[in-house]
Amino acid sequence: MPDLIFRKLAELDRVEAIALGGSRAGREYDEKSDYDVYVYVREPVDEAKRREILSLSCSYMEIGNHFWEYEDNGVLNSGVDIDILYRDLEEFCRGIERVVVQCQPSNAYTTCMWHNLLNCKIIYDREGKLQAAKRKYDVPYPQKLKEAIFERQLKLMDSAMPAYKIQIEKAVMRKDVVSINHRVTEFLTSYFDLLFAVNEKTHPGEKRLVELCRKYCSVLPDHFEENIRILLSHLYADDEEQKKVLDDIHRMIECVKAIII
């Protein structure tokens, strides 16, 4: 545990709370598992100060990366990676409010931040605001949200004019392997978003999805793993075999419809 980093960050007036996410927040980790740290701030913390704090425990640092969220990335002296993400707590909670209360679905990962909040391990909470947010949003999965995810993802996967099924078919006919890969990936993000909603489970993120579905989802499509493996096996096959991707997509759509109708 990078306790020194946590302690030094907690000393800063601008820091409201610190939480640990990912596998380190639970029990399913080993000595090589990285640290996902969420620092909730009321105002930005100076980059020089953050570099000073991380240098106490890190052999390598990248300060102020902004590829996804705003974050610092480093390697602890123990050799374990650490990612420190800086968030505005009020803005973060407004995003969860849109999902849990207003029931607004996304194209993918709809409930991922809700999952992040509910499953994080609080390291520091100056005024108890993060714990209060955890209590507020620790509610049963809203039926309205579930239905909204069903509607959006089925349209994206299957029936809307820009549906992934249609885009994949066009890409296959053009033999555009990059586009096929991209659209199949997007199809799968909608597919898993829908599966977690079917089971009224918050979305755990992008890693180990098949494994986590097997472990936590009691309702899964017929031939769940087999269909995914077949689809991926055809993705980079020769031209004739690659056309089978269209049959694979159709089969997966019909199987998922069967568990929600």
Tens digits of per-residue pLDDT, 26-59? 555 566 678 999 999 999 999 999 999 999 999 9
Indicate which CATH number applies to the domain containing 57: 3.30.460.10
Q: Which residue has the tokens 């380190």?
A: 24
Percent of the chain with pLDDT over 70: 95
Tell me what pLDDT residue 240 has: 83
Partnered with residue 21 across adjacent β-strands are 36
Tens digits of per-residue pLDDT, 1-13? 689 999 999 999 9
Last residue of a domain, one of 90, 110, 136: 136
Are 116 and 166 part of one and the same domain?
Answer: no
Tell me what pLDDT residue 170 has: 95
- Please give the full DSSP string across 43-67, using - where no structure is assigned: SPPPHHHHHHHHHTTEEEEEEEE-S
Tell me what pLDDT residue 228 has: 97
Higher pLDDT, 88 or 261: 88
Are 96 and 164 part of one and the same domain?
Answer: no
Percent of the chain with pLDDT over 90: 88
Q: Provide the number of structural domains found in the chain.
A: 2
Tell me what pLDDT residue 27 has: 58
- The pLDDT of residue 93 is above 80: yes
Tell me what pLDDT residue 32 has: 64
Last residue of a domain, one of 86, 114, 136: 136
Are 124 and 202 part of one and the same domain?
Answer: no
Are 33 and 158 part of one and the same domain?
Answer: no
**The model's pTM:** 0.92
Are 205 and 104 part of one and the same domain?
Answer: no
Residue 19 host element (H or E): strand 15-21
CB 5 within 8 A of CB 26: no
- The pLDDT of residue 25 is above 60: no
Tell me what pLDDT residue 34 has: 87
Are 48 and 149 part of one and the same domain?
Answer: no
Partnered with residue 17 across adjacent β-strands are 40, 125
Cα–Cα distance for residue pair 18/122, rounded to 1 Å: 6
- The pLDDT of residue 23 is above 90: no
Last residue of a domain, one of 109, 136, 163: 136
- Alpha carbon 136 to chain centroid distance? 21
Cα–Cα distance for residue pair 231/249, rounded to 1 Å: 7
Q: What is the mean pLDDT of the segment spanning 187-202?
A: 98
Are 121 and 176 part of one and the same domain?
Answer: no
Domain that holds residue 12: 3-136
Are 113 and 176 part of one and the same domain?
Answer: no
Tens digits of per-residue pLDDT, 226-247? 999 999 999 888 878 889 999 9
Are 30 and 70 part of one and the same domain?
Answer: yes
